[in-house]
Structure 1
Amino acid sequence: MADSQLLTDVRALVGREYGRVYAWDDVNAPMIRQWCEIMGIDNPLYTDPAFAANSDQDGLVAPPSMLQVWCMEGFHANHYPPGSTTENPYEVLQLIESYGYPSVVAVNSELTFNRNLRPGEKLYYTTRLDSVGDEKTTGLGTGFFVTLVMQYFVEHKSGDEAVGELLFRVFKFRPAHPQTAPQAPADANAAPVAKRPKPGMSDDTRFFWEGCDAGTLLIQRCTQCQTLRHPPAPVCIECHSFDWDSVQASGRGQLYSFVIMHYPEVAPFDHPNPIGLIELQEGVRMVAGLTGVAREDLRIGQPVQLEFQTFDGELTLPLFRPVAE
């Protein structure tokens, strides 16, 4: 049970708005070009002035998903341009931590775009503590889901214009199984070997990971309307029934979309690290690692086949390998 004083202090912060954080630079073509190069995007609307001038955009625009990038602090943490607020929009996390919830994990983020940005525009964002949920117990531990909303604006002499919004949610928690201090390696000079992080497991997802351990890909199915769903969830998205079982997937599908993780480089993953959104033959989609393929050989729609791989002798994950047409 959460401390009553903690709940009082946290709820007093909900709804608080924090001041402006400015972008270091105006929206500009060199940064757009570098971002597109790193992300593997070759849309001429972002990088070819002649093409963009003859498009319905009447000139270069920035990729919408760069919205968050313009106002980042840079290489050094909390290094913001002059005039930016010195308030800490994450003070609620420090407050929760002071009551014995030391860990944090990002849960999800959602970007909303009002319009495309153009070179020469100057941005800033403000932050609002949108909500702090009731204390919840998950496979990771017990804690609170904290939601912050950043609203992005372009400065105008006639009045600033809202151009987008970022919803950012984290889970601030007390671990279910606190880690003990690691044992010293036999060779004091040997660096510890990084292991693959284990997925969070709950009553809703346990069947899926146990299926992976057994070499089967299981998809949740509503027993009332037969709708398949993934990721697993406690209730059917169609008929709202709580009754479900699972079916074994064929393991065949196609590459619906993909990203290439370049940075940060986190051990023990290989980099660049390709990650795919797989559309299974059964109709559901799932995110999984891609194996046995180079970046330049990936293409949307190519057929893929399930392949289980075991890491660190204990963690079995479903990966997908491209196959011939």
Structure 2
Amino acid sequence: MSQPARIKPPMGHDNAWWWEMAADDKLGIQRCSGCQTLRHPPRPMCGDCRSTEWDAVEASGKGTICSYTVLTHPQFPGYEYPLIIILVDLEEGTRLTSQLVGCEPEEADFGLAVEMVIQEDPDGFKLPVFKLAEAS
């Protein structure tokens, strides 16, 4: 019996572009065409200038952990627990909520450098997640 798949996110008019970028192994950030403000999650109107015009830029995928939590329950099929959920301050100047992978919960901490990697599920669904950045 195969493992159940991850719960898929809703994809609609306002966020389909983001998932298309993820499918191409890219981390997208929505940018207001009026005032150039970056925003995530994607939404139809800029919270700063109220413009409904926007484009998207590719993020570097580098940032630091602003906050985190470790989820142990409830446990949904298709996920490996514990889940380390992080709030990332991207170097472009906006924040993104994601998952920290490839480390134990006790290794997570505020201010640690992280970098985006693409996690691909067995069904081909791609999701940007983060790992601790390599020390240089």
Range of TM-score over shorter length: over 0.9
1:228 aligns with 2:43: no
The partner residue of 2:4 within 190, 194, 203 is 194
Q: Distance in 1 between matches of 2:61 and 2:21?
A: 13
% identical aligned pairs: 36
* Deviations 1:28-60, CA, capped at 9 Å, x for gaps: xxxxxxxxxxxxxxxxxxxxxxxxxxxxxxxxx
1:228 and 1:254 mapped to 2: Cα distance?
17
- Answer yes or no: is the 8 Å Cα contact 1:196–1:312 preserved in 2: no
Match in the other structure for 1:246: 56
Corresponding letter in the other structure for 1:318? P
Once the two structures are TM-superposed, the CA of residue 266 in structure 1 deviates from its matched residue by 1.8
- Give the Å deviation of 1:265: 1.9
Q: Offset at 1:324? A: 3.6
Partner of 2:24: 214
Amino acid at match of 2:98: A
Corresponding residue of 1:286: 96
Higher helix share: 1
Deviation at 1:322, TM superposition (A): 0.5
- Alpha carbons 1:253, 1:305 under 8 Å: kept: yes
Contact map agreement 1:252 1:281 (CA 8 A) in 2: yes
Instruction: After superposition, give the CA deviation of every residue in 1:226-260 in whole Å (9 maximum; x if it has no partner).
Output: 01110001001110000000111000000111111
Tell me, what secondary structure is at the counterpart of 1:286? strand
Which position in structure 2 is the counterpart of 1:299? Answer: 109
| 1:46-99 alpha-carbon deviations (Å, 9 max, x no partner) | xxxxxxxxxxxxxxxxxxxxxxxxxxxxxxxxxxxxxxxxxxxxxxxxxxxxxx
Q: Which amino acid aligns with 2:124?
A: E
Q: Does 1:313 align with 2:109?
A: no
Question: Residues 9-34 of structure 1: CA distance to partner in whole angstroms, max 9, x if unpaired?
Answer: xxxxxxxxxxxxxxxxxxxxxxxxxx
Q: Which residue of 1 aligns with 2:85?
A: 275
Larger radius of gyration: 1
1:205 aligns with 2:11: no
| Superposed displacement of residue 313, structure 1 | 2.8
Contact 1:224 1:241 survives alignment (8 Å): yes
Larger RCO, structures 1/2 (Cα 8 Å, 6+ apart)? 2
Asked if structure 1 preserves the Cα contact closer than 8 Å seen for 2:66 and 2:89, the reply is yes
Structure 1 stretches of 4+ moved >2 Å: none
Work out whether residues 32 and 38 of structure 2, in 8 Å CA contact, stay in contact via their aligned partners in 1: yes
1:73-222 aligned at under 5 Å gives the runs: 191=1, 193-222=3-32
Question: Given that residues 100 and 131 in structure 2 are in contact (C-alpha distance below 8 angstroms), is that contact kept between their aligned partners in structure 1?
Answer: yes
For residue 31 of structure 2, give the secondary structure of its aligned residue in structure 1. Answer: strand
Structure 1 residue 193: Cα displacement: 2.9
Q: Secondary structure at the match of 1:221?
A: strand
TM-score (norm 1): 0.41
C-alpha deviation, 1:264, in angstroms: 1.6
Give the corresponding residue for 1:260: 70
State TM-score, norm by structure 2: 0.94
Alignment of 1:58-73 (within 5 A): none
Gaps of 5+ in 2: none
Aligned length: 135
Q: Can you give the 5+ residue segments of structure 1 that lack an aligned partner in the other structure?
A: 1-190
* In structure 2, C-alpha distance between the alignment counterparts of 1:192 and 1:317, rounded to whole Å: 20
Cα deviation for residue 289 of structure 1 reads: 1.1
